[in-house]
Amino acid sequence: MRRLDPQRFAGQVGGCQVGLYTLRSPQIEASWCNHGARLLQLIVPDREGRLRDVVLGHDSLAQLQGGMASMGAFIGRFANRIAQARYRRGGELHALPANDGPHCLHGGPQGSRHQVFEVLACDSQRLSLGWTFADDGFAGQVQLQVHHRLDGAALILEYSATVSAAATPLNFTSHPFFNLDGDVSPSALGHELQIDAEHFVPIGPDRIPLGHFEPVAGTAFDFRQMRPVSQALAQGHAQLRLGPVLGYDHAFVTASAGGLRRQARLRSPLSGIVMEVWSDAPGLQLFSSAAMDGSLPRHAGKHGRVHGSGAGLCLEPQHLPDAPNQPLWGPCIYEPGQTVRGQFQYRFSVDDSGEPRGSVA
C-alpha cells in the first residue's frame, strides 16, 4: 500500500491553486484533492491489521484531469440525471445545460466535479472546502461548503448549500468508487452487499427513470440481506441489460423521511473490511462500474493500475434521479434564502469470520 505524493498534485488549474490534503485518526487516513473535492485515498486496516487503500483514484493531478470526472468527487448542484435537460415549475420551463446526450448529468458541464474548490480550513481535525455555483446554466446562485472529518474509524462529510437570487434544484452526493480489497483484487463484484430498501427506481436505456418504483423482493435488486453482488448479477433482470455489460446504475428508495440512518452495508470476504453507509438522503444510487473497460487515460488508476469492469462499487446517498420532473419523488427545488444541509458517513469495521487471503504490498 503506497501513500499518495502531495507534490504530484501541486499546481494550478484555471488560475486556482490545487493540492492534496490528508486527515488522520488513530484508525484510518483519508486524502482529498480540492479539484472536485475528490476523495482519492482512504486507508483502512484489514482483519490482520494490514493497511489497504479502499477507494479507486488517481496518483497525480495530470492523471486526475484525464480520468473519469466523477471518480471520488463531490457532486452538485444536481447529482444524477435531469431528463431532457429541463424541468417545468409553476408553468415556466427551465432549460439546463445538456452533457449526457440530451440530458443534464451531475450538474452539467460546469458541475462541482469540474471545479477547484477553495480551501476554507485545513487542520488535523477537519478539511473544509467551498464552491459557489453561478453562471453554470442553472438559475440562482448557491454557496456550497463541504466539511470532512474523521471520527475514529468513520469518515464523515457534512455539507451546507445556501441559495440566493433565484429558486434552483439541488441534489448533492459523494462519488467514491470502493474496493475493500485494495489493490489485491481487480474487481469488487465479489463483495457482499446489503441495501436497506424495499423498492428501486427502474430506468430506460438512457438511464432516465420510468416514473414509478418497483419492489426489490425476489429480484436481482433484492439486497435486503447480505449477498455477493456477482450472485445478484447472475440472477439476471432486464434492468441489468441496459448496456453492453450487465450492471447496476440504479437508485434505491431508502426512506420517506429525513434523519440519519443506515442505507447500506458492504463487506469483503477477502480482507474482512466492512463499511456501512449512513446518511439523511432519501435514496441511494448503486453503480457497479460495468462500463469501465481499461481504456486509457480515462480508466487509469493509482500506481499503474488500470480499471476494468466492476473494479469498484459506488454507493451514493442522494435524492432520487430526475426529481424536478417527478413530483412524487418529493421536493428538490429551493428558494432564495434557504439553506440545505446533509451528512454522509462511511463507518468501517472488521469481520473476523472467514479465512484471510491475499497479500498487501
Domain boundaries, the chain: 6-350
Q: Report pLDDT for 257.
A: 67
Catalytic residue among 29, 192, 276, 316: 316
Residues 6+ apart with CB under 8 A from 104: 78, 81, 82, 85, 96, 97, 98
Tens of pLDDT along the chain (361 residues) come to 899 999 999 999 999 999 999 999 999 999 999 999 999 999 999 999 999 999 999 999 999 999 999 999 999 999 999 999 999 998 899 999 999 999 999 999 999 999 999 999 999 889 999 999 999 999 999 999 999 999 999 999 999 999 999 999 999 999 999 999 999 999 999 999 999 999 999 999 999 999 999 999 999 999 999 999 999 999 999 999 998 899 999 999 998 667 899 999 999 999 999 999 999 999 999 999 999 999 999 999 999 999 999 999 999 999 999 999 998 899 999 999 999 999 999 999 999 765 544 433 3
**Using CA atoms, how far apart are residues 269 and 40, in angstroms rounded to an integer?**
23
Cell numbers placing 359: 497479500
The enclosing H or E element of 232 equals helix 229-235
How far is it, in rounded angstroms, from Cα 266 to Cα 226?
8
Output the pLDDT for position 64. Answer: 97
Dist. CA 33–CA 9, nearest whole Å? 7
Domain 6-350 belongs to what architecture?
Distorted Sandwich (2.70)
The closest alpha carbon to 275, from 284, 266, 286, belongs to 266
SS3 content of the chain, % helix, strand, coil (to 5): 10, 40, 50
Is 175 catalytic? The answer is: yes
Integer Cα distance of 51 and 17 in angstroms: 30
Angstrom distance (rounded) from CA 111 to CA 286: 20
Give 334's strand partners: 168
The rounded distance, in Å, linking the Cα atoms of 85 and 107 is 10
Give residue 67's pLDDT.
96
pLDDT at 124: 85
Q: How many Cβ atoms are within 10 Å of 346's Cβ, its own excluded? A: 26
Pairwise CA distance, residues 64 & 41, whole Å: 13
Element (H, E) at 231: helix 229-235
Q: Is 64 helix (H, G, I), strand (E, B) or coil?
A: helix
| Of residues 329, 337, 324, 322, the one with CA closest to residue 90 | 324
CA distances from 56 to 134, 183, 238 (A): 30, 9, 29
Q: Among 160, 360, 193, which residue's Cα sits nearest to residue 286?
A: 193
Does the annotation count 319 as an active-site position?
no
State residue 243's pLDDT score. Answer: 86
Residues 6+ apart with CB under 8 A from 7: none
User: Residue 174 has which C-alpha cell?
Assistant: 459523494
The C-alpha cell at 247 is 450492471
Provide the pLDDT for residue 227: 98
CB crowding 192-223: b at 16 or more within 10 Å, else e = bbbbbbebbbbbeeebbbeeebeebeebbbbb
What's the length of the chain? 361
Which is the catalytic residue, given 35, 58, 114, 175? 175
Predicted TM-score (pTM) above 0.75: yes
